[in-house]
Chains A and B, each alone.
Chain A
Amino acid sequence: MEVGEKTMMLKRGDVAKLARVVAETREDEIGCDECFARLDRFAEAELSGSEARSLMPLVGDHLDKCPDCRGTFEALLAALRGT
């Protein structure tokens, strides 16, 4: 490889992973800030048994795609259940 040239050397397993997240990508995804702003309401809807995901589909979609926000959401649910 020449100096400065960058190739990623994607292995087969990488491509399978990447292909999946690319295929699931939507144009209208929200970002982490917007997800966080609505996370308290989403968590309460989830706990009250109402359909949080149909009420706030873009938050649900972000939680599927963003491990950071999903971690916060799961910890928040556990906190709310435990207090």
Chain B
Amino acid sequence: MGERTNDQWLADLRGPNPDQALADLYELLVRGLGAGLGSYGGGAGASAGDFAQEALIRITANLDSFRGESRFTTWAQKIAMNVALTELKRRRWRDVSLQELSARRETANREPADTQPSPEQQALQSTVLRELRRLVDEELTERQREAVVAVLLEGMPISEVARRMGTNQNALYKLLHDARRKLKRRMEDAGISSREVLAAFDEG
């Protein structure tokens, strides 16, 4: 494939005959997706062509937002990866609802870690346990609790929880950040420092 500079990519894609540049970019994106999604499974490889096609549309529509801070092809591959992973996460989590997730929690049996904490550590753990439970119930909003359970405790992708809660990934990250900040401040108000919290659950 002919190597283009960033300016050449932009000129070719914006020019009157973008077909060769589009074809070269498509080929690069398909190869990148193959390499990048190698371990993903779930038909990721088979869909690489579709993802690249979708990414090309987004790339050509957003050329003005390329700030030239990286190689153009790196920027393009970043967009392709985002298109692909958003869709792959959607497929993987398609059958899971937030209601189901919390229902499953009620019955799941979570045993404490096997390691034997020291008496001081045990006392600290009890304090943190009691305070965090209280703060989560009293200080967080319903939406914050829902997001905390799904993302932080159940490991569901932020993009998928956002979709179910009628918002977007960036806004949901911010909502979680607000929730974490609030819990942290209230813990400190209660006289429990972050260092102590980490020490309480340090398994090493």
Residues of A within 8 A of B (CB): 6-25, 27, 29, 31-33, 36-41, 43-44, 66-68, 71-72, 75-83
Contact = CB atoms under 8 A, between A and B. Distances in A.
B78 A8 contact: no
A15 B110 CA distance: 11
Interface string B49-77: 00000000000000000010111011101
A19 B135 CA distance: 12
B170 interface: yes
B32 A18 contact: no
A43 B76 CA distance: 13
Nearest to B195: A23
Contacts, number: 155
B21 interface: no
Interface string B14-40: 000000000000001001111111101
Q: Which 8 A-B pairs have the closest CB atoms?
A: A82-B35, A79-B36, A79-B32, A40-B70, A75-B36, A23-B194, A25-B180, A11-B110
A7 B137 contact: yes
